[in-house]
Every structure is written in structure tokens, then in C-alpha cells.
Structure 1
Amino acid sequence: MRQGKVLQITFCVVILFSCAFFTFLYWNDNKYKNDPNEGIQYLYDNWEFYYSVLLTPEDLKKGDTKGAYMEYVTIGEVNNYSNHNPYREAHGCGTYVLHLQLASEKARYAIEIPEIYSAYRFFVNDELIGQCGEPGENDKNYREGIQTKIYSFEAAGECTLLLETRDESHYYSGMTYPPALGTESVVLQRVYRRIIFYTTIAVLCAFNILFTLYYCVKFRSSLKERSQRKNVMIFTGIAFCGILFMGYPLVHYLWQCRVHPWYTIELMSGYVITFLIVLLHNRLTQTRHIMEKGVGYGMVVLAAVMCVIVFLYGNFSARLTLRLEVVFSFVVFWYKIVIALYLVGRSVISVYRQQTEGVPLLTGSLFYACSYMWDRLYPKFEPIYGGWFAEWATIIMIFASGFVLWRRLLQNAKQAELLQKQYEEMEKQMKIQVRHMEKVNETVEYNRRIRHDFRHHLHAIDTLAKEGKVEKVSEYVANLSEYHKKGRSQGTLFCKNTVINALLQYYEDNADLSEIKTVIRVCADENLPVPEVEFCIIIGNLLENAIDASRPLAREKRKIEFYGKQEGAMYLISSVNYYEGEIRKRGRRFQSSKHTGNGVGIWSVERVVEKYNGMMTIDVGEEKFEVKIAIPIE
């Protein structure tokens, strides 16, 4: 029942959010919905197109179209020269002409020419303004070159824009994206915003990679499982492909690119991301059901096969026919639907099984699926600043997968750190037990020797007494008493509690090994303010920190004073030691001097004291560190 409500809420929220988000983009970040009053207009309508000919401004003036018919095209409706004519070739050449009516006074304008496939010459009226690549008079003189460029020119009144284009190598052909015309400041402002957007996305993907690598270095002990290492490697691949997939507009602004290999890499990156997301999705929502495993493997194989198809499609784009391009678009359409439905279905099952990964993955998968739906509902969309619908969906999926993976990795890191601390604590307890047993064995051995030698001492005393040597008897007894006093090795008796006494003896021995003078006075009987285990946590952490701080000091400064006693209804603990260097704090937490990050010892003591409604104060002097604790005795 609870999982059903979670699914209903997640579906409603994500679908409503995607509706609002993509509708907002459609009306506010769409070249086809741009307001011309903002000082810029996108030239997508009323273009004259002459198929299979390259016309110059002089040809137009003479009325010589070289036998080609003029037809009107809307830029963005198709991505090739066909203009909905299925009998045309996928490659070739064509001329685009647009007549504009500008202001009567001469002014300077800027025009952004996006990627035109795959070479062009650009004229304003009779003047050649610029070119990219070389369209040539035929395919032998053709030289590809693709780049987003900004040109400026002066014009007034009637103005004619002419673009000679040729493509012999790309899977697109001609002018696919509408140019932007306006004042220089407005055009450049929009270009800069677009660059900032894609730079931000690329930086975030790079941050994902750096964070993952940092985790691998810092918490490598938690990556001992092979599955965890694979998950980290897969996500690193997703983030790296995200940089390629979202960073291509930056490349096109900066450099003129050839079709091969750059556009194949650009096309492949999106499909490799999908493949890796499906793979990671399967690994994060693992199941024991054979049918689900089979479907999961099938989707991975499908995504891998699609990557191969896309690779071949990009590399052999020069040999494509229009029919093959249509078939490829059909295959891609259904492939995306199948993958989106699979990811959503797998996430729904994960939610029903109460897996913690379910809701984040379902959110990303639903948004991913909704992006395809809205792409069909809003086909006439090209972003001004941000990304396409599919790019936004990819970003959300990357961060949803990253969130799930990071959370799992951090949980593993915390668990590994906890296990390490437990191991260290067990090792410390073993040392205390071993040391205590050694002292017990020494005491037993000493008592055995006493019993063995006792009759010899009696014979000696009896002989001296019979001889009347009373003074010798007294001297012998005194020497014997001193001998036994020096021979005792059972350790200092600090208190009646055996466990606490053994712990205090352990730390006293550690301090003696480092030549640290200790003054320990602890009264601990059955009436302790906290359970015995937690009392040992307080004593152990305070004494261990004090010994660690005292070791680097000069011998005369190595001193620890530790007191514990009951006064009225309170149990008071005081620990004093000296130190050198800087004591660092971050907020309320002391920073460790043994490793980077927060210290654990003082924090553990604080938690025990707070648990039993006690008070704890820490006084940090220039060389003196003092901890005072008061815990009520119930």
C-alpha cells in the first residue's frame, strides 16, 4: 500500500513537472517562438530554395537559376535537401535565398550562422561575407568544414541573404538550424549565454568524474568488492560521455570541424550514455528473478547493438541514401521508446521491492520518458540558450544515477570506516586482555615461587633464632619483605572494578613506554554514572588522546593528570595534558591530528555524556588541554 502511494506521488510530480518544464522551454527558450521586439529574429521562414544548383548573386540578378525550380522551405522541418520529396538524393548541393526588409537607415548587423552541412559560401547582397569549407562547383572541388560562425555587415532597406551549400559526407545536408539576425550586442549576448550553459554542464560532468576519482582514492578500502569498482567505472564513463555529448556546441563555436571522426563521436556519445545508463541501472537494481535478468541482459544487448549501428551510420554517412536515413530515424524512434519504458518499468519494480534506489531512478527514468513524449508534442523546437529536450533528459538521468551511486558508495565508505574502528577497538581490547592475563600469570608464578621458597626462609629464621641472633632475624625478615615488594608485578590497583582497572593499567603502561608521567586517581565501584562499556569509552578516548598529544613533547613536559570521583549526586571526571602545535576545529567538531577530517575520540565522549544528560567543557590553553565532565548518578 505504501509503495503504491509512493508510485502515484512520483508519477504525478514528475509528469506535472516535465509538463511545466518542457512547456516553459517551448515558449521561452525556442527560436520559433522568439519575440522579434527583443532586437533579434530567427530566420526560419520564407527561404527560397534551389535544389541541386549553386547560384551566385549575379545569377539571381540575371534570372538564371540553371534549370532549378524555386521552392519555399522552413528551416528545421527537415534535416536534408529533400524538402519532403522522397525521390531526391541524401547528398548534393542547394542554394538558399532570403529577402529581408531592414531599417531605412544604414546600420551594422550581426548574423549567427549555425552548423551548415557540410560547406557553404555566404553572401549579403552582392558581397561575399564569409565561408566555411569549400562547396566547389562539383563534388571533386568540395572540401567539408563545419562551424558555428558570427558575421557582421552593414545594410539598409532591402537586403538579400544567399547561401551556397554542398554536402557529400554528413548524415544531414544543407541548412538544418535557423540563423539569428540582430544587433551585434544582442546576438553576442545570446551566444555568450549559450556558451555559459554548455560550459556549466560540461564542468558539472567533469566534477562528477573528479568526485568519483577522489572517492576511489580516499575510500579505496570500500571498493574491494568487484561490483563496486565496476559501478564506479561505468558512471565515470557516463560522465565522460556526458562531456562529449553536451560539449559539442562549444567545439563548434571554437573550431572548424570535419565530419569524420568528430560528428561520429558526437552522435555516438549520446547512445553510449544510454547503453551505460541501462547497464548501471541493471546493476543498481539487481534481481534474482531469471525472467527479469533475461530482460535486463536483452536491453543491454539491444543498447550495445544500437551503438554499433550508430557507429556504422556515422562512419558511412557519405554513402547513405534518403531511404536509409528514414529507416534509421524510424529505428531510433522505437528504440528510444523501448528503452524509456524499460527503465521506468525496472524502477517501478525497484520501488515495490522497497529498494532505496527505486525513487531516484524512477524520477530520472520518468523524466527521460516524458522528454520523448514532449519532443513529439512540440516538434518545432530549437533551443536559444539551453539544450534540446533529450539533452535535458540525459542530464537528469546522469545526476539521478550519480545520486544513487554516490549515496551507496558513501554508505559503503561509512560502513567500512565503522568496521575499521570496530576492528581497532577489538584489537585494543585484545591488547588489554593479553596484558591483563600476562599480569595474572606473573602473579600466579610469583605466588608459586613464594610457596616453594617459604620453607627455606623458615629454616633460615629458625636457625638464627636458635643461635640467639635476634637482630639477624629482624634484618633477614626486613630484607625478605623488601625483596617481595620489588618482586611484585601485578600492577597498580586503581579501583575495585576489574574491567576499568585493567583499562587504566593498559594506558598507564602505554604512557610508561613513552616516558610520560601519569597521575591517575579513579574511584569506580558498582555505582557508575553510565554502563561499564560507555564508561570505558570515556576513559579510553580521553587517555588515548592525552598520550598521543604528549608523545611529541620534551620529556619534562610529558605529564597527564586524570581524576574520576563521585561528589554528591554527580560523577566528576577531569583530564589534563599538555600539547604543542595547533588545535583545529570546524564548527563544534575538533579536527583529527592523525588524519584529515573530524576527530572521533572527543566526539564519542561528547555523545556518551549527552546521552546521560551530563555536561562537558573543554578548555584549550596555549599549551594545556583540559576536559571536565559531570554526569548525574541515578
Structure 2
Amino acid sequence: MIHFPKRTVIKLLSVIAVSALCFSLMASLIYRYDNKYTRRTLQPIGGLLALSEKDLQENACYFLAEGWSFYPDKLFTPETFAEEGAQSFAQIITIGQYNDFSFGQPQRGTNGSATYRLLLSLPQTPYTYSLALPEVFSSYRLYIGGTLISELGNPSPEHYRPAVNEQVVTFTASGTTEVLLAVSNHSHYYSGLTYPPIFGGPSDVNRVLDIRLFLRIASISLILLIALAAFFFWLREHNSQQVTLLYFFACLCLLGYTAYPLITTFCTLDNQVWYALELLCLYGMYPLVIILQNKLWHLPARTDRFIWGFMSLFCAAAICYALLPTSSYTVHRLFELSARIIKMFTAGWLLINALLAAWHEEEKSMILLSGTTVFAAALVCDRVFPYYEPIYGGWFPEYGGVFLILCLGFIILKSLTDSYRLQLTLTEEKRQLTRQIAMQKIHYQELSEKIEDSIRRRHDERHHLKMICMLLENNEFDKLKEYLMDYHLSATNEERAVICTNLIVDAILQFYRHQCQEKQIALTLETDIPADIHISNTDLSVIFGNLLENAYEACLRQNRKDTYIHLTAHYRSGSLLLRIENSSDKPPSKKSGKFLSAKHDGYGIGTQSVKAAAARYGGQLKYDYNENFFRVSVILTEQADSKS
């Protein structure tokens, strides 16, 4: 029987509940306050919108969502409407009630023509007004007050030519003014006017559009910066190239999907090609995100192949659907149903994998669980909330997609940061090991020389004894005394000079004395450290080794000839006092109060290691420097914590 830890279950359910609740509350606020359908302004009634001067002063903009007169299968002009309009059948509809011209009837095709009509009862004083038309699928003629104001594409069935763009028309009107929109569609999934227009004064309408444009550009810029950062890491990080490349393409897909409204703001599009690209970006992002999640949690590769195959088939079908338009009601509903299934499958797959990763306590799994929950909640909200079209912001799936991408980006960035830190740590350990090997090599050379010298001395001792015996036999005591003095001096000169009685410190000092002699760096040493002290050999090696290495390498980088290193180290009353000063020709670089490394990008690891070692003994670390010298002082007093 499987045991489910109560604490883990509560933790997972809490993350899911809090994430879903927070996004649902945010979605509710967005739906209430950033929605053309719920903004509390006057709406047309029975095809008529009556506005007084007071109404125009109290409300800057009107979102014309309700009460439009709708004439299916009719392509009116003001002249033909005057002749046939009264006898034609008209529905009073809400914009978005029908997203195609089948009107929910399977026997009808989804393409065709229709006319939207609205009467504006305006003040008798002529004013200038603006009407912002969103995307109208897929060609239209706009008449205001009996005059052709705008034409996009060609809605005539005989010469049909699609074109999609968001337009703002400005006109001067007074009294009763007719707005007539004649639309044809034979090339898009949607048909006709599916999003409410905005009506008001030119400055007020433009302000709404400018705010929306600013927010859209800001979000696209953010996604673009994240994509460029992912591409940069893909070029630099060889160990995680596949993950960063997948993330880069996922960002590009999200960028293409969210940038589509911005493109239609500035460009008139052949909607078939651009709609195909929009679908490719939308449904191409889903498999990329799933496979990216699989890579992060190291799931089997066969799962990736299944996802690629399944999702690739749907993406290919979506592109064919966009490029080969059809008026079949069945095909449109089948694609709509398949798209919903793909979205729910993606959300479910991501949510299950995130739950499994969090269940097995994978690192940073809770972040992904939260992002996946928000993404799933966004897809649900997109279906639950009826009649939603944002005034300023974006659609719910866009919010969920951006949040999921940010969560994945944070996880990848954290993994890259950890990998980089590990790489720096391994590099530092390798450098320390290389230094120790060099020190051992010098020690071995000195030991070999001592062995050879000992053999030579034992060989020469016979000759010395013979000489001493001969001088004694001849009673040549003065010569004997002179001979013994010379022998003593030669033996003393050949002895290895001991710098410090502490073997670890002595080995380090011997190594850097040898290095400084080779590079002609003046090294002055004053040490008094006993063999047994309370500081561990490892910490002694870290402190003396790193500080001397930094001083030595600093001298190598200088252009001045009188480079020097002065070291003073004493052990008094249980405290180690160390001061190392070296010459300098420029102050060291610092950032956020930390020294930057001269060997790699980032902070100096050696100085951080010394700081950590000093902290274990309640020590103090002080730096003094200018353009001529650099001095570091260390005082270690207490015993190190046994747990550190």
C-alpha cells in the first residue's frame, strides 16, 4: 500500500490552491475592469445609441458591444439599404455573439457576407469623433453618415480580396448619424465584426489605444529580452545548450503569438499567412514547454518523441487549416474542439509532471508547479468567462503563458547559476590542487637534493677523517682548527633554511620564495608560528595560500620594476596575526563591496574563501589599498566551530 505523507500532500495542495486562487482573483478583476463588455457605459438599444453632450463629457469612450442591427447574407451600401433595408430581416446582436457566419447552424457555411448597422444620436452641434475598429474578418467597407470612410480589402464576392488591420477613423458629425459596416469573409476562421469598436473623442480614443500599445510593446520587449538572454546562454553554456535552445524557441513562439495584435496595428495583412504563423507560434509553444519540462526533470527520451510526433501532427493540421480556408461548419468545429483538447492536454501533462517532481522533492519543483497551475487556470478562465475582450491588456492564455515562461526561465537561470558556481568551485579546487602539486614538486626536488647530498657527505667523510687523523698525527693543530672551521662553514651554507616552524606555513612560504626568486619579486618574510596551533592545516593553507597567490599574481600583472611582497605573521596568546602587503600600480576593481576577480568574470573566489575561513574563527579581515600598494590584515582568535 502506497503511503502518502500528510505534510507533503498539504504542501502540494496548498501551492495548487493558492496559485489557482490568486490567478482566478486576478482574472476576475481583469474581467471586471479591463473588459469592453463589462465597462459601465451607455450601450445601443435596438440599433440606436443616443448620446447627449453631458454623456460625452462624463464618459470619454464608449465600447459599442450591444444592440447592433445585423443583416446576414446582405452586403448593403447606404443607397441599397435605403431601398431594401426596411424589408430585410434584421437581428439585434451583441458583438462576439457569433464568431462566424454560420450562426451556430451546421447546415450553413461559416463564410459569407453580412452588414452591421448602428444609428448614433449625437448633439446637434458638430463635433469630431473617432471610431476604432479592431480586426474585422476579412474585408469590409465602412460608411458613416452615408459616406464611404474606409475600405479594407474588397468585400465584393466577385472580386473578394482579404485584408486585416486595426483602423481608427475620424469624422465630424451631428444629429442622427448612420454607421454601416459591410463585411465579407471567405478566408478566415472568424467572420465579420467579432470585437467591439471604441467610439469617442479623438484624444480619448487615441489615449486608450496608446496605453494598450505601450503595454503590448512592454510585454513583447520583456519576452524578447528573455529570448535574447536564452540565446546568449545557449552560445556560452555547452553543458545546457539543449535546454536553453528549447527555451529560446519557446520564447520566440510566445513572442510571435503575443506580437500578432501589434503587427495588425501597423500593417495590413494577408490574414491567411499571418494566421497560419499565429497558430504555429501558439501550438508550437506547447510541445516546446512540455519537452523543456521533461529535460529539466530528466524524463525518458521516448516521452519527447511521443510529444514531438503528436504535437507536430496537430501543428501541421493547424497550418493547413489556416492556409486552406474552408466554409465547412464541421471542419471549423472539429478544429475548435481539437484545439481545446490540445490546450487541456498540455495543461494536464505539465501539471501532472510538476506534481510528480514536487512529490519527489525535485529542486525548484514548487516554482514550476505554481507556474503550471497558473497556466492551467488561465486556459480554464479563457473558457469560463463569457464575452471578454481586453481594453488595455491581453488574453488570459497570454498571461498564463508569460507567467509559465518566467517560471521556467527562473528555474533554468537558477540551474545555470548553480552550474556556474560549481564550475568556479571546481576550477578553484583544481587551482588549489595544482598549487599543492607544485609545492610538493619543489619539496620533492629539495628532498632529492638532500638525499644526494647525504650520500655525497658520507662518501666524503672518509676523506675528512683521514685528513683530521693526519693533522693530529703531525701535531698541526692550527691547520686542523682552520680545516674544521672551513668544513663547518661549508656544511652550514648547504643546509636548507627553515622559514617557519609550522610545516604547512613553511611549505607555502618556501614555494612562493622560489617563485618570487624566479620572477625577481622582492619577498620579505617575518614569521613566528609554532608547529601546533588551534587553526587547522586546511584553513592555514587556504588563508596563506590564497593571499600569497593573490599578491604574487598582482605583482606579475604590474608594469613597475620594483615589485615587492612583505609578509608578517605572528602567533601570540592564541591569536594569529597576519599582514601581507604587495606593490600595486592601480586600485583593485570592486562591485557591491566585493573584489572582482582578475582571472575570470565575477567575484574573486580566493578572497571569499579567506573570508569564510576567517569567519569560522571569529576573525577579522581588513583591506587597505591605493594606487601604490595593497594590504590585507587577518586576525584569528577563537576556536573554529566543530560543525563548520
TM over 0.5: yes
- Contact 1:347–1:361 (Cα < 8 Å) also in 2: yes
**Amino acid in the other structure paired with 1:242:** L
Q: What SS does the corresponding residue of 1:33 show, helix, strand or coil? A: coil
- Contact 2:619–2:638 (Cα < 8 Å) also in 1: no
For 1:629, the equivalent position in structure 2 comes to 634
- Contact 1:278–1:300 (Cα < 8 Å) also in 2: no
Structure-2 change in CA distance of 1:337 and 1:46 (3 Å): same
Query: Is 1:307 the equivalent of 2:315?
Result: yes
Q: 1:540 aligns with which of 537, 545, 551?
A: 545
Give the 5 Å matches for 1:234-633. 234-287=246-299, 298-317=306-325, 319-463=326-470, 473=480, 476-485=483-492, 487-488=494-495, 490=496, 492-553=497-558, 556-632=561-637
Q: What SS does the corresponding residue of 2:601 show, helix, strand or coil? A: coil
Following superposition, the deviation at residue 581 of structure 1 comes to 1.6
Query: Is 1:40 the equivalent of 2:54?
Result: no
Q: 1:210 aligns with which of 225, 228, 253?
A: 228
Query: Is 1:83 the equivalent of 2:91?
Result: no
Runs of 4+ with >6 A deviation: 293-296
| Structure 1: distance between partners of 2:244 and 2:337 | 34
Structure-2 change in CA distance of 1:217 and 1:605 (3 Å): farther
Q: 1:156 aligns with which of 174, 180, 185?
A: 174
Structure-2 change in CA distance of 1:449 and 1:555 (3 Å): farther
Q: What SS does the corresponding residue of 1:626 show, helix, strand or coil? A: strand
For 1:20, the equivalent position in structure 2 comes to 25
Percent identity for Structure 1 against Structure 2: 25
Q: 2:80 aligns with which of 53, 59, 62?
A: 59
**Amino acid in the other structure paired with 1:260:** Q
For 1:201, the equivalent position in structure 2 comes to 219
| Structure 2: distance between partners of 1:547 and 1:505 | 13
Following superposition, the deviation at residue 114 of structure 1 comes to 0.9
Stretch of structure 1 that moved more, 403-412 or 533-542? 403-412
Following superposition, the deviation at residue 525 of structure 1 comes to 2.1
The CA deviation string for residues 5-47 of structure 1, in whole angstroms up to 9 with x for no partner, is 2112112212221221111111011110113253111122222
For 1:110, the equivalent position in structure 2 comes to 130
Q: What SS does the corresponding residue of 1:171 show, helix, strand or coil? A: coil
For 1:126, the equivalent position in structure 2 comes to 146
**Amino acid in the other structure paired with 1:138:** P
| Structure 1: distance between partners of 2:359 and 2:593 | 41
RMSD: 2.3
**Amino acid in the other structure paired with 2:511:** Y
Following superposition, the deviation at residue 506 of structure 1 comes to 0.9
Following superposition, the deviation at residue 528 of structure 1 comes to 2.2
| Structure 1: distance between partners of 2:625 and 2:166 | 63
The CA deviation string for residues 43-62 of structure 1, in whole angstroms up to 9 with x for no partner, is 22222223333211111223
Q: What SS does the corresponding residue of 1:261 show, helix, strand or coil? A: helix
Following superposition, the deviation at residue 85 of structure 1 comes to 3.2
- Contact 2:231–2:245 (Cα < 8 Å) also in 1: no
Task: Tell me the matched-pair count.
Answer: 618
- Contact 2:567–2:580 (Cα < 8 Å) also in 1: yes
Q: TM-score, normalised by structure 1?
A: 0.92
**Amino acid in the other structure paired with 1:522:** T
**Amino acid in the other structure paired with 1:273:** M
| Structure 1: distance between partners of 2:168 and 2:512 | 75
- Which structure 1 segments of 5+ residues have no match? none
- Contact 1:515–1:555 (Cα < 8 Å) also in 2: no
- Which structure 2 segments of 5+ residues have no match? 1-5, 42-57, 640-644
Q: What SS does the corresponding residue of 1:574 show, helix, strand or coil? A: strand
Following superposition, the deviation at residue 229 of structure 1 comes to 2.0
- Contact 1:284–1:357 (Cα < 8 Å) also in 2: no
Q: What SS does the corresponding residue of 1:247 show, helix, strand or coil? A: helix
Stretch of structure 1 that moved more, 406-415 or 471-480? 471-480
The CA deviation string for residues 462-484 of structure 1, in whole angstroms up to 9 with x for no partner, is 55666666665555555545544
- Contact 2:439–2:507 (Cα < 8 Å) also in 1: yes
| Structure 1: distance between partners of 2:77 and 2:597 | 75
**Amino acid in the other structure paired with 2:291:** L
